[in-house]
């Protein structure tokens, strides 16, 4: 597994994944400890990984594709551009969490490559939603795969497993984004979306 979660991030064997809803005002300085407490309350044992989101996890979107399964919670209240100037950088609640299962053993290099594939597919969905940003500053990704079997060396968007992964992420984020209060491409309307960095408002 590869994870960017606040708890159990990195590459290694994990037995469980938590994606927990927190209030929009969440400000605990120790999200890893918080997630460990939640895991203990749920009786989860052994190594695992945990994510937090301001989105109600009951709204999770599931998207299967050719054996790959993606679960996404999509919060787009405050999107950012990854390369925004420092003056435009913001840290507010709003998170796109993606958890994916690939039913083939991926090499460590393929896991890293697959995370890039997840990011590319997510941005493709945001472009279609007309969201003015590449994501949020707290987006997280978990990608799980078996620890046995033939090793697959690639995870890019045209690889055997990267291709269905990309399609599933795109479908999940697109559907989740359309269900949130919105951007021009969603099912609901947002007021005055921010302009991209460097754009002059006339």
pLDDT in single tens digits along all 202 residues of the chain:
999 999 999 999 999 999 999 998 899 999 999 999 999 999 999 999 999 999 999 999 999 999 999 999 999 988 999 998 776 555 555 799 999 999 999 999 999 999 999 999 999 999 999 999 999 999 999 999 999 999 999 999 999 999 999 999 999 999 999 987 556 766 654 444 444 455 444 3
Residue showing tokens 């290694």: 12
For residue 35, give the H/E element and its range.
helix 31-41
What is the pTM for the complete model shown? 0.88
Alpha carbons 32 and 52: distance in angstroms, whole number:
10
Token pair listed for 88: 């435009």
pLDDT at 1: 99
Token pair listed for 119: 């990011």
> Residue 103 CA to chain centroid, in angstroms?
19
Cα distances (Å, whole numbers) of residue 58 to 53, 61, 113: 12, 9, 29
| Beta pairing, strands 140-144 & 61-65 | unpaired
pLDDT at 200: 46
Domain ranges of the chain: 2-178
pLDDT at 21: 96
Alpha carbons 70 and 91: distance in angstroms, whole number:
26
pLDDT at 92: 57
Residue 147 CB partners (closer than 8 Å, separation 6+): 13, 105
| C-alpha distance across the termini of the chain, in Å | 48
Dmax (CA) for the chain in angstroms is 58
Q: Tell me, what DSSP letter sits at residue 167?
A: H
| Helices and strands, counts by H and E, the chain | 3, 8
pLDDT at 87: 61
């Amino acid at each position: 597994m590869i994870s960017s979660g606040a708890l159990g991030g990195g590459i290694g064997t994990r037995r469980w994944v938590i994606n927990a809803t927190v209030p929009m005002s969440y400000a605990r300085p120790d999200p890893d400890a918080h997630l460990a407490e939640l895991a203990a309350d749920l009786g989860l044992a052994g190594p695992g990984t945990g994510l937090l989101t301001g989105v109600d996890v009951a709204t999770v979107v599931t998207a299967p594709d050719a054996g790959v399964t993606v679960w996404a919670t999509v919060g787009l209240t405050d999107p950012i551009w990854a390369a925004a100037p420092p003056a435009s950088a913001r840290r507010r609640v709003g998170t796109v969490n993606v958890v994916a299962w690939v039913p083939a053993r991926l090499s460590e290099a393929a896991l890293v490559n697959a995370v890039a594939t997840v990011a590319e597919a997510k941005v493709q969905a945001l472009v279609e939603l007309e969201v003015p940003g590449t994501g949020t500053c707290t987006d997280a990704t978990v990608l799980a795969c078996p620890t046995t079997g033939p090793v697959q060396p690639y995870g890019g968007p045209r690889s055997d497993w990267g291709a269905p992964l990309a399609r599933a992420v795109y479908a999940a984020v697109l559907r989740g984004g359309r269900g949130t209060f919105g951007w021009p491409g969603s099912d609901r309307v947002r007021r005055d979306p921010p302009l991209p960095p460097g754009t002059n408002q006339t």
